[in-house]
Amino acid sequence: MKAIAVKIFESFLLILAVIVFNFVLIYLAPGDVVDALSGGAFGDGREEINQLIREQMGLDQPFHVQLITYIGNVLTGDFGFSPIGNRPVIEMIAPRIFPTLLLALCALAFAVIIGVTIGSIAARRPTSFFSGGLTVFALIGFAMPVFWTGILLVLVFGVWLDWLPVSGMNNLRLSSSAGFVERALDTARHLVLPTISLGVIFLASYARLSRASMLEVLQSDYIRTARAKGLSEGPVMIKHALRNAVIPIITVLGMEFGVLLSGAILVETVFNWPGLGRLAFEAVLTRDTNVLLAILTMVSATVILANLVTDIAYRLVDPRIRIGDV
């Protein structure tokens, strides 16, 4: 328990450091939200108007005052006000969290389940045509950017074949009286193409990694002992080999969760998915720094927590590994 407490405290300090880094990064960037507001519907571009807006938003304060104020607000759950959206930032972000998590988790499940299955099958016959084809598939998967894959899927399955929807999370023509099952099925149809687009590169990675890990495990003495005892191939592969081969996969899974979320930004833009990625893209265009900072902080905290869960998962998968050693 002490090791877990230390890990949690370290994660908290890391999140705090990320908050400071993100704030400094945005502070040093040229321009601010006032430049987007002035000269438009909220101002006429005059310097006195810009100064008044900065005073109201606290942007005229020294850097250290702004930083301390922002950290204190974030730690209490206050991410500020969005002058572009004309409402609190948390109200803009809250409806976007579920769509992004749904897309990321579906893509992750798609990549892990299919990737590990393909890799394990290929490991049983490492010199077969299937195993060699896996290598080619992995190389192709690594080489395809998620946005290019998304555009290709839109053209093939959305435009040419017209099998699946290519935009949004739900059909706008869906009746308001539709039940939960009907809405869930509609969301699932909209999820198919974004999930494949985001998950295919990770699928190739997990398939290749699980193949290499299974090959190493299958050559271990305890696997030969299990087979010598007369155990069938199924229990040997699942109960003994796969459980030990999955440890490197858990490692990569935790490390790549941040890449998964960053890829979601591009995928959400291609498929007009109403998630955090799409909102972040809009915040960059309008220089809505409060929204952008909140999204960066939330995504960074999620990645850090995912790595913390990964560390703890080591102990659950293999009791020989102590959490303090991870």
Q: What pLDDT, in 10s, does the model give residues 277-294? A: 888 888 887 778 888 888
Let me know: does 207 contact 115? Beta carbons within 8 Å.
yes
Res 43: pLDDT: 46
Tokens 């959206």 map to which residue? Answer: 85
Identity of the highest mean pLDDT range in 59-63, 98-102, 322-326: 98-102
Q: pLDDT at position 41, please?
A: 42
Position 253 pLDDT exceeds 80: no
Average pLDDT across the chain, whole number: 77
Supply the pLDDT for residue 236: 66
Confidence class of residue 6 from pLDDT cuts 50, 70 and 90? confident
How far apart CA 40 and CA 37 sit, in angstroms, is 6
Domains of the chain and any CATH numbers:
2-89 (no CATH), 93-324 (1.10.3720.10)
Give tens-digit pLDDT for 62-113.
888 888 888 888 888 888 888 777 888 888 888 888 888 888 888 888 888 8
Structure tokens at 228: 């010598």
Say which range, 108-117, 248-257, 302-311, has the weakest mean pLDDT. 248-257
pLDDT band with cut points at 50, 70 and 90 for residue 238:
low
- Identify the band that residue 33 occupies on the pLDDT scale cut at 50, 70 and 90: low
Give the max Cα distance, the chain: 85
